[in-house]
Amino acid sequence: MGPVNGVYYPHISFSRYVKELLGAVAKSGIGCNVANQFVNILAYADNVVLIAPSRTGFQSLMSLWCKHAVVINMSVNKNKTVCMMFKPKNRNRIVASEFPRLMMDDHPVNFVKTFKYLTHIINDQEHDNDAIHREIKKRVHPYKYFKPQIW
């Protein structure tokens, strides 16, 4: 889709192209229960998050994504693609602390402990302290550099 009245709307174009791709992932049956809702994909503009309960499930979702992306001639920035693993609430269910690398086509996907998604910092510790600290730094108290004068 090109410019409309001199304005380019890539998000509209993107959503039209990926509608079937998003649907294929959503209908895959692989995902997690979040607040009593089945969730396996979050998409905003051209940012996509895949959610799976296991390494095998995640690999299946990535393979499905790549397979359908080829159909619509869409490329994925493999250098920006990362994986974050969250520990289960029940620590007795931890089966391993290290896993084989995930692959996106022939490209290995790196595991990360923190990353920035849109404008929010996400980490694997289930809190948003990193984002809060960043916001505090951005909003320096207006009187930080104020030095009272003694007359």
- Average pLDDT of the chain, as a whole number: 78
Maximum Cα–Cα distance for the chain, whole Å?
Answer: 75
Q: Report the 10 Å Cβ neighbour count for 141.
A: 8
Q: What is the pLDDT of residues 82-107, one digit of tens each?
A: 888 877 777 777 777 777 888 888 88
Least confident of 12-16, 33-37, 39-43, 95-99: 12-16
Buried-exposed string 2-21: b where 16+ CB fall within 10 A, e elsewhere:
eeeeeeeeeeeeeeebbeeb
* Structure confidence at residue 1 (pLDDT): 39
How much is the CA Rg of the chain, to the nearest whole Å? Answer: 20
State pTM to two decimals.
0.70
Q: Report the 10 Å Cβ neighbour count for 31.
A: 19
